[in-house]
Each structure stands twice: as structure tokens, then as C-alpha cells.
């Protein structure tokens, strides 16, 4: 096999390696949690905090109302015990009972409001949890597909790498060094295809005799403009 042909085949493998490595980097960048999942989880945590706060509030009002009921019961027991006859004391017990009932009514209004709010926030929480489950399910599927793609690319890269090493070994040290040097100078494209006398990289028409020699595979010829080795295919 001519050097130009070997170089051209190595160049194809190098180009595919670069492309597959870029694809693998993209896949790896997409692995892990997405913004969507993080945001949906955060939304659930925030709502859980609101619900917990409201539950605490409802519970505290319940306790306070319970305390007032106890006080009111003691007040009523005393009032109707028949033991209190002093009008001043009776009147003060009545006043106390009224004050306790007013306070209780106030707290009951607040309790009702808190319970309605709690119900709304619990519904919101259930909605956010369902949304999170849905997003996570989609995310898991995507991650599985990405993992599969990652493995596929990794084994492809291993194969290409092996091919590349074989080709480079066959080239021998001198040609390997030449290839690498040209590759560095020519941005990775060492060989240009020549079709109908035209360099397929820079578009220049090469001299007729050179084109003929390239087509026949005689000797090594470089494009006069982009300086790449010409290959007739
Ligand atoms: Zn050229």
C-alpha cells in the first residue's frame, strides 16, 4: 500500500476518533442531574416547609383553644356550683366567661383560616410531588439511554484506537514522524483528495501532469496551494 493511501486511511481514523471523542464528551456532560430535576425537587422541599409550618400553626391553635375550654369549664363549674353568692364575684365570673368565649371565637376563626390554607398547600404539595415523580421518571429513562450511548462510544473508541495503533505501527518510525509533523502543520488534514484535477480541500486545479501522476499513484505530490499530499482515491 502506498504511503499516501496509508496516510489517508490513518487520517480517516484520526478524524473519526476526534468526532467520537467529542460525542462522548457531550454524553458525559449530559450525565447526572438536570436543572429540571433539581428545580422540581427544590419546589417540593419549599412546599413541604410551608405545609409543616401551617400544621404547626393549626396544632398550636388547637392547644390554645383546648386551654381556653379548660379555663371556661372551671369558670362555669364555679359559677354554677352554688357556692358563689357574692354579686361582685358572680359578675366577675360572668365577665371572665364572656372574655374567654370572645377569645375562643377569635382563635377558632384563625384556626379555620389556617386549616383552609393548610388544605390548599397540601394539594399544592401533592401536585409538586407528582410533577417531581414524572420528571424523575423521564430523567431516569434519558440517563439510561445516555449510559448505553456512552458504553457504545467507549467500545467504538477502543476499536478505533486499536486500528490507529496498528496503522501507525505499519507506517514505521520515519513515516509516522512525517505524518505527525504534517498533521500539526495542516490542522489534522494531511492528505487531500484529488478529483478531476482539483484539490478537494482548497479547490485549486493542480497542473495536468501532476494530476495524472496522482491518479496513477506515482510518487508523492503536494498541492501547490494548501501543501497537502494529494491522493487520487
Ligand atoms: Zn489544496
What is the C-alpha to C-alpha distance for residues 134 and 124, in angstroms, rounded to an integer?
15
Question: In this structure, are residues 214 and 232 in contact, taking their beta carbons and an 8 Å threshold?
Answer: yes
Ligand 1 mean position, distance from CA 185 (Å): 14
Hey, which CATH number is domain 31-155, 1.10.10.10, 1.20.272.10, 1.10.287.1700, 1.20.1290.10? 1.10.287.1700
Q: Where in the chain is the domain with CATH 1.10.287.1700?
A: 31-155
Output phi, psi for 116, to 5 deg: -65, -45
Residue 177: the pLDDT is 97
Ligand 1 mean position, distance from CA 174 (Å): 24
Ligand 1 mean position, distance from CA 199 (Å): 5
Backbone φ/ψ region at 208: left (φ over 0), alpha (ψ -120 to 50), beta: alpha
Ligand 1 mean position, distance from CA 189 (Å): 10
Residue 233: the pLDDT is 83
Residue 68: the pLDDT is 97
Ligand 1 mean position, distance from CA 179 (Å): 17
Output phi, psi for 220, to 5 deg: -110, 130
What is the C-alpha to C-alpha distance for residues 30 and 51, in angstroms, rounded to an integer?
34
Cell of residue 126, nine digits: 401533592
Residue 193: the pLDDT is 97
Ligand 1 mean position, distance from CA 191 (Å): 9
Vertex 18 angle, CA 20 and 168, to 5°:
115
Ligand 1 mean position, distance from CA 23 (Å): 29
Ligand 1 mean position, distance from CA 222 (Å): 8
Ligand 1 mean position, distance from CA 203 (Å): 6
What are the average pLDDT values for consecutive 10-residue runs of the chain, which has 233 residues?
A: 93 97 97 94 98 98 98 96 92 96 97 98 98 97 97 98 97 96 95 96 96 94 96 91
Amino acid at each position: 500500500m502506498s504511503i499516501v493511501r496509508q496516510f489517508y486511511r490513518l487520517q480517516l481514523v484520526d478524524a473519526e476518533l476526534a468526532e467520537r471523542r467529542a460525542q462522548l464528551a457531550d454524553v458525559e456532560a449530559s450525565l447526572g442531574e438536570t436543572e429540571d430535576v433539581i428545580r422540581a425537587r427544590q419546589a417540593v422541599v419549599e412546599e413541604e416547609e410551608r405545609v409543616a409550618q401551617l400544621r404547626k400553626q393549626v396544632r398550636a391553635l388547637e392547644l390554645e383553644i383546648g386551654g381556653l375550654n379548660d379555663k371556661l369549664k372551671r369558670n362555669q363549674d364555679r359559677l354554677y356550683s352554688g357556692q358563689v353568692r357574692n354579686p361582685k364575684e358572680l359578675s366577675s365570673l360572668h365577665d371572665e366567661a364572656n372574655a374567654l368565649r370572645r377569645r375562643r371565637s377569635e382563635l377558632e376563626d384563625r384556626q379555620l383560616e389556617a386549616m383552609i390554607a393548610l388544605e390548599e398547600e397540601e394539594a399544592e404539595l401533592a401536585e409538586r410531588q407528582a410533577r417531581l415523580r414524572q420528571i424523575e421518571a423521564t430523567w431516569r429513562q434519558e440517563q439510561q439511554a445516555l449510559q448505553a450511548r456512552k458504553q457504545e462510544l467507549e467500545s467504538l473508541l477502543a476499536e478505533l484506537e486499536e486500528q490507529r495503533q496498528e496503522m501507525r505501527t505499519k507506517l514505521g518510525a520515519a513515516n509516522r514522524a512525517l505524518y505527525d509533523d504534517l498533521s500539526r502543520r495542516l490542522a489534522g488534514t494531511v492528505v487531500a483528495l484529488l478529483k478531476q484535477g482539483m484539490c478537494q480541500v482548497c479547490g485549486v486545479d493542480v497542473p495536468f501532469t501532476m494530476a495524472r501522476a496522482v491518479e496513477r499513484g506515482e510518487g508523492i505530490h503536494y498541492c501547490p496551494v494548501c501543501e497537502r499530499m494529494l491522493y487520487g482515491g
